C-alpha cells in the first residue's frame, strides 16, 4: 500500500481547513449563546433579589398585622378570629337595653329639673352650658336645648351670676 492510498482513506486526525472554519464558527456561536445566557441569568438573579426584598417586606407587614390582631384579641376577648376573619361580637340587645335605660334616666332627670320652681343649669368646667331647665329657658324665651354649647354669659356678660361662676370655675381648676 502506498502513502497515497492511506491518505485518501479519510484520516480524521488532522483537521482540514473546512473543519477548522466549522469549529471556529461553532465556537463563536457557543460563545455568543453563553454570553446571552449569562445576561439572562444576571437578569433572573436581579429579579430574584427584587422578589426576595418584596417578599421580606410583605412578610414584615403580615407580622405587624398578626401582632395587631393578637393585640385586639387580647384586648377584646369576646372576638372571633377564624380563617382570616376578625369581628367583635356585640350583643345588640344589651346595647339597646342600656340605651333605653339611659333615655329613661334622661327623661326622669328632665322631669325633675323642669319641676324645680327656680332656674337650674349645668355648666362645664370650661364655662359652657351643658343644659338648663324649662324655667330658665322660659325666662329667656328659649328652649332648654338652646343653652347647650353656649358660653357662660352669652345672654348678659356682666351679671353678678356670670362673675361669680367665672370666679368659682377658676378657683376649682
Whole-angstrom distance, CA of residue 137 vs CA of residue 156? 14
Q: Does 46 share its domain with 103?
A: no
pLDDT at 41: 73
Locus of grid cell 376577648: 77
pLDDT for 91-147, tens place per residue? 677 888 888 999 999 888 889 888 988 889 889 989 999 989 999 999 999 999 999
Whole-angstrom distance, CA of residue 106 vs CA of residue 145? 13
Does the CA dihedral 31-36-39-40 come out positive or negative? negative
**Is 121:145 a contact under the CB 8 Å cutoff?**
no
* Domain region containing 119: 92-172
Whether 8 is in a domain gets the answer no
Q: Does 108 share its domain with 156?
A: yes
**Is 133:146 a contact under the CB 8 Å cutoff?**
no
Whole-angstrom distance, CA of residue 117 vs CA of residue 64? 61
pLDDT at 35: 87
Amino acid at each position: 500500500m502506498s502513502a497515497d492510498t492511506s491518505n485518501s482513506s479519510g484520516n480524521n486526525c488532522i483537521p482540514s481547513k473546512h473543519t477548522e472554519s466549522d469549529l471556529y464558527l461553532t465556537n463563536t456561536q457557543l460563545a455568543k449563546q453563553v454570553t446571552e445566557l449569562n445576561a439572562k441569568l444576571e437578569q433572573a438573579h436581579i429579579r430574584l433579589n427584587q422578589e426576595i426584598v418584596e417578599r421580606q417586606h410583605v412578610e414584615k407587614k403580615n407580622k405587624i398585622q398578626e401582632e395587631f390582631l393578637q393585640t385586639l384579641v387580647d384586648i377584646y376577648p369576646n372576638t372571633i378570629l377564624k380563617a382570616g376573619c376578625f369581628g367583635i361580637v356585640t350583643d345588640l340587645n344589651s346595647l339597646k337595653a342600656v340605651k333605653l335605660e339611659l333615655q329613661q334616666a334622661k327623661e326622669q332627670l328632665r322631669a325633675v329639673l323642669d319641676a324645680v320652681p327656680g332656674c337650674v343649669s349645668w355648666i362645664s368646667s370650661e364655662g359652657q352650658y351643658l343644659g338648663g331647665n324649662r324655667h330658665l329657658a322660659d325666662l329667656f324665651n328659649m328652649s332648654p336645648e338652646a343653652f347647650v354649647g353656649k358660653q357662660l354669659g352669652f345672654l348678659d356678660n356682666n351679671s353678678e351670676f356670670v362673675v361669680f361662676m367665672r370666679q368659682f370655675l377658676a378657683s376649682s381648676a
